[in-house]
Structure 1
Amino acid sequence: MYTSPQHAAAPVASPDEFRAALSQLASGVALVTAHDPEEGAEGGDAGMTATSFLSVSLEPPLVLISVREDSRMDEILGRVDSWAVSLLGEEQRALASRFAMKGRLSDRLLFADTPHTRGPHTGAPLVEGALATVECRTEQRIPAGDHVLVLGRVLEARVPGPADRPLLYFRGGYRQLG
């Protein structure tokens, strides 16, 4: 049986070292959205750009997102139990940038000129032209450092059209397949 060494003396990577190392991993880019009906038809929408979205299980179908603690998305996902993910194509780079900006416009203004439909299961905005969309119900919220991991059961997954080229995030910027 393996016994781990004492954790108290273990070195810890600095945030800069950690960021530099993980920037070497290319990730797909997604827009995570949710709708809080108590805030009104359009006022209850929230969205964030995410590169931390992954498949967890096929049976049952589960996915995971990572949400910054105390963010607007964390606040809404703490109140509602459903959300959606739109997987973005390379022509949606500007959309990804707009929803990722610090000090950005309010969610209401961002969604006002973002073509979207409402998910039939969640009411969350689904981005038109996305490579795929997934609607989810929260199964579990797990505190993890300065983020919350949200495990979701997939209610429906759709690929609306022919496969396009994905938008990727690599070395701190948006990229396209070569």
Structure 2
Amino acid sequence: MSPQSSTAPLASPDEFRAALSQLAAGVALVTVRDAGEDAGMTATSFLSVSLEPPLVLISVREDSRMDELLSRVDRWAVSLLGEQHRTIASRFAMKGRLSDRLLFADTPHTPGPATGAPLVTGALATVECHTEQRIAAGDHTLLIGRVLEARVPAPDGRPLLYFRGGYRKLG
């Protein structure tokens, strides 16, 4: 590393957030089942890592409830949300929100066959994963998951997107 790069100023969190808000991202619900209870969080940081073997990555805020759960439970699921799931995405993204038990009571879902974690009814696609690796990265934890099951229950659905700080639709 050159001396110049180690002293270069860093972008502020606000500058960084503003720059990345220009990238449209799909919206997903990451879920886990732990000790008979379901938990979930809205995520826009979900991506494919590898086809052989099938691996995906999620990013979870360090010291969050979901980070704690995923440190104990090594199986989790992701439901890729469609336009009709905007309310679900908003509710699971709220700070100081209702309990997960109440949120899932109002969210149509079924338990995943490989993980038992909730899969959102009508999701564009679902994947169920086993944690392969946890990586500390700044104020987040990256989880790389081996895909155990992948389904496309709504192949003609339209995705829910997150762009410039809000949910959007294609078109």
Q: TM-score range by the shorter chain?
A: over 0.9
User: Who is 1:5 aligned against?
Assistant: 2
How far, CA to CA, are the matches of 1:67 and 1:155 in structure 2? 20
| 3-state SS in 2 of match to 1:74 | helix
| 3-state SS in 2 of match to 1:78 | helix
Unaligned runs of 5+ in 1: none
Deviations 1:143-170 (A, max 9, x none): 0111100000000100013321100000
Deviations 1:37-92 (A, max 9, x none): x2x3xxx2110000000000000000000001111111110101000000000111
- Percent identity of paired positions between Structure 1 and Structure 2: 82
Measured after TM superposition, the shift of residue 10 of structure 1 is 1.5
Equivalent residue letter for 1:10: A
User: Who is 1:21 aligned against?
Assistant: 19
User: Who is 2:142 aligned against?
Assistant: 149
- Corresponding pairs, count: 170
| 3-state SS in 2 of match to 1:168 | strand
Unaligned runs of 5+ in 2: none
How far, CA to CA, are the matches of 2:160 and 2:115 in structure 1? 25
State the TM-score, normalized to the length of structure 2. 0.97
Equivalent residue letter for 2:77: A
State the TM-score, normalized to the length of structure 1. 0.93
- Equivalent residue runs for 1:111-122 within 5 Å: 111-122=104-115
Deviations 1:83-122 (A, max 9, x none): 0000000111111000000110011111111110000110
Equivalent residue letter for 1:118: P
User: Who is 1:34 aligned against?
Assistant: 32
Equivalent residue letter for 1:90: E
How far, CA to CA, are the matches of 2:129 and 2:19 in structure 1? 31
Which consecutive segments of 4 or more residues in structure 1 shift more than 4 A? none
User: Who is 2:81 aligned against?
Assistant: 88
